[in-house]
């Protein structure tokens, strides 16, 4: 009979193959086959994978939460500076299937073009102070969005002199 240490050295596909093919030997009196040990190791591997996925998802959700706060703050500043910016609800195009809990959208019309971000509905409260967006989605891709964002603040190939921009609000 194999030890747990021997079984733990096997890859997950090998473990699954064993259960599918070789474990039949138990029915024929083969005492070398120990499907319970293999099942135990497989369950431990899946638990490890499950824990890793949970850690990854928590980190991803934390990053989205931070990004959403920055996006909303950017939209508020853009609106205060006179740009068309606001919140909207994603409307499916024909044939498009969108996740129901990612329908909140923040739009900003920059001189370099429209940019937008979807926010998870659990973060929708962040947009409550934004006006409804006065416009329609222009079909930009994620790549175009970040090109437009990079191009913002550059006039005729030269960086914008931020000190020369008129201020429309004061800070507290």
In a domain, 88, yes or no: yes
In a domain, 18, yes or no: no
In a domain, 160, yes or no: yes
Give pTM, 2 decimals. 0.65
Q: Cβ of 145: how many Cβ atoms within 10 Å?
A: 17
Tell me how far apart the terminal alpha carbons of the chain are, to the nearest angstrom. Answer: 74
In a domain, 104, yes or no: yes
φ and ψ at 5, to 5 degrees? -60, -40
pLDDT, position 171? 44
Report helix, strand or coil for 4: helix
In a domain, 66, yes or no: no
The total number of structural domains in the chain stands at 1
Which residue range forms the structural domain that includes residue 146? 82-164
In a domain, 149, yes or no: yes
pLDDT, position 141? 95
Mean pLDDT score across all residues of the chain: 81
pLDDT over 80 at 116, yes or no: yes
Q: Which tokens belong to 108?
A: 């900003």
Among the ranges given (81-85, 89-93, 106-110), the one the predictor scored with the smallest mean pLDDT: 89-93
Per-residue DSSP letter, 64: H
φ and ψ at 81, to 5 degrees? -85, 0
pLDDT over 70 at 119, yes or no: yes
In a domain, 43, yes or no: no
In a domain, 42, yes or no: no
């Amino acid at each position: 009979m194999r030890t747990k240490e021997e079984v733990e050295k096997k890859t997950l596909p090998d473990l699954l193959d064993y259960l599918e093919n070789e474990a039949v030997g138990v029915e024929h009196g083969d005492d070398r086959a120990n499907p319970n040990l293999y099942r135990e190791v497989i369950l431990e591997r899946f638990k490890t994978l499950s824990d890793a996925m949970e850690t990854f998802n928590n980190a991803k959700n934390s990053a989205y939460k931070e990004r959403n706060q920055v996006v909303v703050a950017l939209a508020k500043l853009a609106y205060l500076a006179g740009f068309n910016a606001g919140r909207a609800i994603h409307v499916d195009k024909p044939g498009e299937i969108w996740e129901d809990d990612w329908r909140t959208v923040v739009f900003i019309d920059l001189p370099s073009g429209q940019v937008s971000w979807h926010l998870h509905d659990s973060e929708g409260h962040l947009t409550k102070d934004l006006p409804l967006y006065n416009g329609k989605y222009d079909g930009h891709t994620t790549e175009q969005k970040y090109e437009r964002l990079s191009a913002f603040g550059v006039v005729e190939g030269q960086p914008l002199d931020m000190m020369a921009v008129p201020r429309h609000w004061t800070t507290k």
